[in-house]
Structure 1
Amino acid sequence: MLSVYFVLTLIVTVGQIFTEYLNAKSHIESELQTLKNTFSTSLTRAIWELNTLQAKSIAEGLMELPIVDGVQIRDENANYISDIGRTSSQPMEPVTTGVMRDHPGGTFGYSFPLIFEFSGRTSQVGDVTLYSSFEIIFGRIEVGIFFLIGNAFIKTAFLIFLFLNAFRRMLTEPLSELTEQISHFDTGRLEQSKLHVRLEDENELKVLQDAYNHLIDDLIHFQDQLNQTQQELRDANQKLDEQNISLEQEVARKTASLSKIMLDLEQQKDELLHNQKELRQENESRRKIEEELRKRNDELAESMQTLKMAKDQLVESERMASLGGLVAGIAHDVNTPLGVGVTAASFLEERLKGLQQAFDDKTLTSKTMASFLNEGQQTATLLLTNLNRASELIASFKQVAVDQTSEAERDVDLKEYIQEIIQSLAPNFKKTRHKIELDCPDALEVRCAPGVIAQIITNMIMNSLIHGFENKNSGTIKIKVSEKDGEIEIDYQDNGKGLPRQLLNKLFEAFFTTRRGRGGSGLGTHIMYNLVTQTLKGQIQASSEEGKGLRYQIQFPARRDN
């Protein structure tokens, strides 16, 4: 209660002091505004007449006033004429209306313009700022503050005195008397241990005394009951002794029966130990079998890991074998135009030597020169044609080969890219009359790793060439590409020998091949299936009838969301 009163008194006192401060500050601001009416006329005329000494004299006179701590006088260009006392920097713009501002350092000021009237016209000749401070305000309210603080201190001290006196008379002294009487409590003299404190009013201490005396009465009642219960307990103990004698006799009879039972249990224990020994031997045998099984499982796991590594190596070998076959075919196909180019260059070099010899011997005629130019033009045309052919083959091979060894995604014109793949595989068809027909819309773009498309198309074409067209010199491969609802559909067909139904179901299984022992690894279609379903996130289906060729239907999104 005293703490709450102290806090409230502190808040009220601070509020009164703050109110006094605001009132004093308001009066000082009013007095500063009043000074405007007193000095503005003379100060305006002094500035108008360019009488700087008089303006400074007026400023010094204003500093003599008790409420003024600083004076700033500026002309119409915001240049200081006088700046004395505690002041602060002002904005460069001239003051157009009277305004009161607070400034750093505990000061505040009233700024007003100086207006000069001449012949009915007004002109601002400058402005004035009068400063006052917190110390001036505090000087005015100092006595009132000390009075408020003293008043609050006296009231608080008087209230504490009243509280302490009331606590001592109404609480401390009765509590001391109660404590002293309670300290003389004796369980053997309960009636004399009751409290008898002189209390003037019916208060909480009176209730405590009555409750304590009532507790003493209850103890007296419970003590009487305890004595009666003890007598009953003594009687019960006597009866219990008689029952113990009877019980001992019964225990003797039961002990004899129990001895016989113990002998039977001992015999059963021996049998149980024998069974445990047999069970232990059986558990040992099982443990050895489990260790052997665990060892076999570890060996099987290692075999599975080795098998998985072998499978991955076979898959990579299949890809590299495909690329190696592509390299061999392109090398053979590029060799022909390069050979023609070398022959043409050698012929041209020989003719140039003959021309140089004729020129040196001064036997060069116009007919010889015309013949050389004709032959040189034909040779250059032949050389350029074959070199361009070799360049196209190498560029096509380079793009397809790089894509097959790279997993980087890019935008691919599907028609142009499939044509490049077919061109890179052309050497494999040179000695046959097989045809490849491509039906694909122009400017059909997909975003994927181009090597995936190259691997799939290459595997399908090479499977047709090796398996489908086996023992057949004239075959047709049709590749139809279309787009529907953002899905790319590739329909691949050949008119080879096809597959029977029982083999078609195993087409995409790893290591399945119809050329076992003749160079077939059985991984081409398995790799193709994984590339379509896992890399392109698409679907692939195969259908065939024996003697009617093989058909692949592939579908995948043109652009995959990352």
Structure 2
Amino acid sequence: MKVTSISRKLLTRVLSVYFVLTVSVTGIQIIAEYFNTKSHINSELLTLQKTISGSLTRAVWELNTQQAIDISEGLIAIPMIKGITVTDESNNIITQLGEILPENTPSENGDSEVKNEHQSINSLSQGLFGHSFPLIFEFSGRTTTVGTVTLLSSNHVIFSRIEVGIYFLIGNAMLKTAFLVFLFLLAFNKFLTEPLQELTEQIKQLDINDPEVSKLHTMNYEKNELNILEDAYNNLIDELIDFKDKLALSQRETNTANDKLDEQNLLLEQEVAKKTSSLSSMMLKMERQQKEMFQQQEQLQAENTRRSKTESTLMLTNNELKNSITELSKAQDRLLESEKMASLGLLSAEVSHEINTPIGVSITSASCLLDLIHNLEKETQAKTISKRSIEGFIEQANNSTELLLGNLHRASDLIASFKQVAVDQANDKVRLINVAKYIDEIIQSIHPKLKKTQHTIDILCDKSIELYSHPGAIAQIIINLIMNSILHGLEHIEHGKIIIAVNLNEQRLSIDYQDNGCGVPEEKLPQLFDAFYTTKAESGGTGLGTHIIKNLVLNTLNGTITAKNLTSGGLHYHIELPDMRYS
């Protein structure tokens, strides 16, 4: 009869369930990686759309077909893009390269006739997906749709990106499975198969004539069912030895009495039968213990399954947490950019209001000068002109001209200062700046805000200090510091004072900014640079001013910033910035 190995049977059942579970989890991970990669490609297509929209729109608007074709050929060379189609406002194709969508391909918004809205495209039959968006040209404050452009990618791009990841997942699953097979095989062999084989071999060597040498030897294992069986068998051997000694003694005493010998033989047979029955009972007990072992193995299998499910749940939760952190970081970047643009927009409104005064005075002066010219012309035609009229005309014309030029120069200075600061904040390119002159331009650009107060700003800076850095970031830092002082530190102070001291030492620019305001409570000072921390939440404060300052100093300018309260009252910032020619 063929013997079935208990350890092999248990191992086969456990590993079968684990293999099915591993294959399922690996498949789910591959599918999740596919959709995640597809989402990233869609995001890259949207980013690329923002990059090419301006140049492609202008090319279509100016009917520059060759430029549109050149742009399309440049885009189709990008591995991610498998197809591009550019059409004009009448839906006539200007250029079409690469993969082409079949007609009536549905978009995700379900409306293929909408031309003024962005559309997402999916073609399951061809394995293509992408976006279609309008080309909108702005002219004199009006917008006109001049055409559309469709960017397509394919599933081949997705598979090429996740190919290494798929191999890693499959290899990881195979490695874990092989290790688990080896571990279970080693454990079952050590704790079940080998002890049972050793016990069986010792039982087979039972010698009825000399039962003392047939005892089972101690196997040096933990106290378990096999040791109980060993003890029971050895007890049986001891009883057999005792019985044999008693039988020998009885035979010596009744050697001459055959009837007593028969009686002893009968007693011996009964005792053997009794011991045999006891052995059978022990075997039944051993079978019950084996059943208990099977139940323990099933419990172990259930626990393994539960742990596998828990591991899968934790992995999914971890992926969701990573996605949430990514989205939160993007939202924070967008919020910081919105705060920056809002500050620039408010500055634009203030400067525009300030320019209205000199422009209005200039218009009045020009109008007055025009009236003087008309009066002089009438007197000349009527031949009633006199020396006194000419002298009065010259005097009034000079006054009007001086007033006109003065106000125009004032408006020009305001526009130049604001233009330089606004361009720097919008482009944020690295260039060489004269620090003293640039800080003056920054102060000039926010003069409309400062003239509403009686605060003074002292700038202590050598006019020869020059720095190669991001001027837009520096402007944003100075403006935010001054606005924070006006809105928070000097809120209840009529004559406030702000001091900006600038020094250059070993290619590092140090800026010491301080005011004589109320400062910040010491227990709140560690939170000063935290995002969304503000004492003006009820008044619409966002709590991003100092956070933007720290972000610009650390990340954009590669510098350092600290803040402390002054003993005389007010807040002091110390900023150090490197010259980017040497960093």
TM-score by length of 2: 0.50
Among 544, 563, 567, the residue aligned to 1:523: 544
Going from structure 1 to structure 2, the CA distance change for 1:321 and 1:260 (only over 3 Å counts) comes to same
Residue 435 of structure 2 contacts residue 467 of structure 2 at CA under 8 Å; is this kept in 1? yes
The equivalent residue for 1:495 is 516
- Aligned runs of 1:123-522 on 2, under 5 Å? 263-522=284-543
Partners in 1 of 2:428 and 2:483 — Cα distance?
Answer: 22
Measure, in 2, the Cα distance between the counterparts of 1:488 and 1:248.
94
**Structure 2 Cα separation of the partners of residues 320 and 547 of structure 1:** 35
CA distance in structure 2 between the partners assigned to 1:260 and 1:545 by the alignment: 93
Q: Secondary structure at the match of 2:342?
A: helix
1: CA distance between counterparts of 2:206 and 2:464?
114
Q: Does the C-alpha gap of structure 1 residues 260 and 293 become closer, same or farther in structure 2, counting only changes over 3 Å?
A: same
Please say if residues 414 and 446 of structure 1, whose CA atoms lie closer than 8 Å, have aligned partners that are also in contact: yes
Shift of 1:358: 2.9
- The one-character-per-residue Cα deviations of 1:469-491 (angstroms, maximum 9, x if unpaired) are 11222100011111223322211
Alpha-carbon separation, structure 1, partners of 2:206 and 2:335: 93
- Residues 3-26 of structure 1: CA distance to partner in whole angstroms, max 9, x if unpaired? xxxxxxxxxxxxxxxxxxxxxxxx
Count of aligned pairs: 316
Cα deviation for residue 275 of structure 1 reads 2.8
- The DSSP-based 3-state class of the residue aligned with 2:527 is coil
CA–CA distance in 1 between the matches of 2:338 and 2:534?
Answer: 16
Which string of whole-angstrom CA distances, capped at 9 and with x for unpartnered residues, describes residues 301-329 of structure 1?
Answer: 33222221111111111211221122122
CA drift of 1:390 comes to 0.4
Asked if structure 1 preserves the Cα contact closer than 8 Å seen for 2:566 and 2:572, the reply is no
* 1:248–1:485 Cα change, 3 Å: closer
- Of 556, 566, 569, the residue aligned with 1:548 is 569
Greater CA radius of gyration, 1 or 2? 1
Q: How far 1:395 sits from its partner (Å)?
A: 0.5
Once structures 1 and 2 are overlaid, which stretch shifts more, 283-292 or 399-408? 283-292
Q: Which runs of 5+ in 1 are unaligned?
A: 1-246
Matching residue's letter, 1:543? K
Query: SS of the residue aligned with 1:517?
Result: helix
Quick one: which amino acid aligns to residue 295 of structure 2?
A: H
Q: Distance in 1 between matches of 2:537 and 2:301?
A: 55
- Deviation of residue 339 (structure 1)? 0.7
Contact 1:403 1:450 survives alignment (8 Å): yes
Name stretches of at least 5 consecutive residues in structure 2 with no aligned partner: 1-203, 215-232, 234-275
> CA contact under 8 A between 1:499 and 1:546: conserved in structure 2?
no
Distance 2:346 2:467 in 1: 27
Shift of residue 450 of structure 1?
0.9
Deviation string, structure 1 residues 213-266 (Cα, Å, up to 9, x no partner): xxxxxxxxxxxxxxxxxxxxxxxxxxxxxxxxxx99959999999988765553
The amino acid across from 1:540 in the alignment is I
Does the 8 Å contact 1:478/1:493 carry over to 2? yes
Match of 2:555 in 1: 534
Query: Conserved in 2, the CA contact under 8 Å of 1:512 and 1:522?
Result: yes
Q: Report the alpha carbon displacement of residue 380 of structure 1 after superposing the two structures with TM.
A: 0.9
CA distance in 2, matches of 1:443, 1:389: 25
Residue 440 of structure 1, CA deviation: 0.7
Query: Once the 2 structures are TM-superposed, how far is the Cα of residue 290 of structure 1 from its aligned partner?
Result: 4.6
Structure 1 position 547, deviation (Å):
7.7
The letter for the 1-side match of 2:432 is D
